[in-house]
Copies of this chain bind each other. A is one copy, B any other.
Amino acid sequence: MRDVAARAGASLKTVSRVVNGEPGVTPGLEQRVRLAIEHLGYRHHLPASSLRRGGGRTESIGLLLEDVGNPFSSRLQRVVEQVARERGVMTVAVSCDEDPQRERDALAAFMTRRVDGIIVMPAKGDHSHLRAEHEAGMPIVAVDRSPGFAGIDTVLVDNQAGARRGADHLLARGHVRVGFVGNHAGLSTADQRYAGYRSALKGAGIPVDPALVARSVTGIAGGGEAAARLLEAPDPPTALFTAQNLLTIGAVEFLRAIGRQHEIALVGFDDFLLADLLDPAVTVVAQDPSELGARAARRLFARIDGDASPPHRDVVRTRLIIRGSGELEPTRTNSRKGLGTARVRE
């Protein structure tokens, strides 16, 4: 920048003015400065600029996700990035794979880098650090999951109502033995979905049978294994409610592998690509990650812009998408595993 000033025969401040588009520079001078910039290949240095500037915005935000590879997360990221870009802000995304330690590390790294704000999908466990950073003045919005304490903006999905809706859908079809496969117990979303399942059973006057419940299940493989385990119960389920997208996929794979995909009803929480092309197509309780991300981003930027209103709590509704797998009738016979066993359906 010094070189630019020298070459243009202007002062540092003038160059600064031109670079930042501030008014009060003679067109001729401005032209000379621009030429010098062009000629020298000068690049504005944002970090240095932020340093001196009041408030010191870095024009970047942090996004802390479970796993960028999960379709739900990546759609969320997509829209957050888009909203940020419209403001000239870049998004730094970190996957922490449900690891609280990594979450803490990433949060610390965000602080150190002085991002302007953070959107976080809290892992399970302790969130005191989150609270600490927030109280230190960092704008933070929790998305998809409750941070476990008040005082912070949150944008959540109506998990309990959605899960209840999904389970009710199966019960309405006449299913009495409905299995539940859920992810990480202790995670707010997982717990709420489980609560929704319980509430549906309770509403139908059916007791919860522990043999039909698998919790803290992880990933596609885990979902398949859990489904297998549930179907081995003495009095096995005729329907499954899977509380997360990967678990649903795992269950679908398993049912298909044993050739019972048209026999065991299935409703999944969270939609996924191609769910409508499977056979049977998978009935799901759909969330809207784009909506979630957009609201979270807007909330965050409102805070960054100085909004000091009390913490908001925004809840996005879910939608039941009927496709076929959730509308299968309960089988009357006791279910048998394995292939090729003929059975009566009635």
Contacts and interface: CB of A to CB of B under 8 A. Distances in A.
B74 A68 contact: yes
A213 to B, nearest CB: 25
A78 B68 contact: yes
8 contacts: A48-B51, A67-B78, A68-B81, A71-B71, A71-B74, A85-B94, A90-B94, A272-B274
A252 interface: yes
Given A68-B74, A277-B253, A278-B274, A47 B58 contact: yes
Contact of A91 (B69, B93, B277): B93
Nearest to A105: B85
A136 interface: yes
Interface residues of A, number: 46
A331 interface: no
A161 to B, nearest CB: 27
Residue among A47, A252, A253 with the highest chain B CB neighbour number at 10 A:
A47
A123 to B, nearest CB: 16
A44 interface: yes
A45 B249 contact: no
A273 B72 CA distance: 14
Nearest to A41: B136
A78 B112 CA distance: 22
Residue among A69, A85, A91 with the highest chain B CB neighbour number at 10 A:
A69
A229 to B, nearest CB: 21
B68 A111 contact: no
Interface string A239-283: 000000000010011001000000000000000111001110000
A215 interface: no
A81 B95 CA distance: 8
Contacts of A74: 68-69, 71, 74
Interface of A: 41, 43-48, 50-51, 58-60, 67-69, 71, 74-75, 77-78, 81-82, 85, 88, 90-95, 109, 111-114, 136, 249, 252-253, 256, 272-274, 277-279
Q: Give the 10 A-B residue pairs with the shortest CB-CB distance, closest first.
A: A74-B74, A47-B47, A69-B78, A46-B112, A274-B274, A68-B78, A90-B92, A279-B279, A46-B113, A43-B111
Contacts of A94: 81, 85, 90-91
B273 A249 contact: yes
A95 B112 CA distance: 25
A280 to B, nearest CB: 11
A112 B43 contact: yes
Contacts of A67: 78
Contacts of A272: 273-274
A59 B112 CA distance: 11
A279 B90 CA distance: 41
A304 B93 CA distance: 21
A113 B253 contact: no
Contacts of A43: 111-112, 136
A227 to B, nearest CB: 14
B71 A113 contact: no
A94 B92 CA distance: 9
Contacts of A111: 43
A100 B282 CA distance: 38
Contact of A114 (B45, B69, B88): B45
